Amino acid sequence: MVFFDVGHLPWLIAGGYLAVSIVAFIAYALDKSAAKNNRWRTEESTLHLLAVLGGWPGALLAQRVLRHKSAKVVFLRVFVATIVLNCAALACLLAVSGFWQE
């Protein structure tokens, strides 16, 4: 039973990455604003979850543009691990779908 057309998989993935990246960028922006104004902060685990779900491009952009969470070494180590995990999951998804066989 096929739930999706393999030919459309890259577009679905690209759309998913874009959507989660936008959410991640906004989460970083809100967290930076909260940090500046001494308000409730977004948990780092939430930021990492967004990254592992495919939002790492938006998170990376936010780190560079907003200069937020870009110097905390422990955070960055986990962040890099989320990128590796996400890319590995994507490669597995594409392999299982037969994307590279055609």
Query: CA 102, CA 92: separation in Å to the nearest integer?
Result: 16
For residue range 64-91, what is the model confidence (pLDDT) as tens digits? 999 999 899 999 999 999 999 999 999 9
pTM: 0.87
Mean pLDDT rounded to a whole number for the chain: 90
DSSP H helices, 37-99, are 44-50, 56-66, 73-97
- 24 by Cβ neighbours in 10 Å (0-12 / 13-18 / 19+) ranks as buried
Query: CA 48, CA 24: separation in Å to the nearest integer?
Result: 9
Helices and strands, number each (H, E), in the chain: 4, 0
For residue 62, how far is the Cα from the chain centroid?
A: 11
Check: CB of residue 4 under 8 Å from CB of residue 12: yes
Reported confidence tier of residue 1, pLDDT bands at 50, 70, 90:
very low
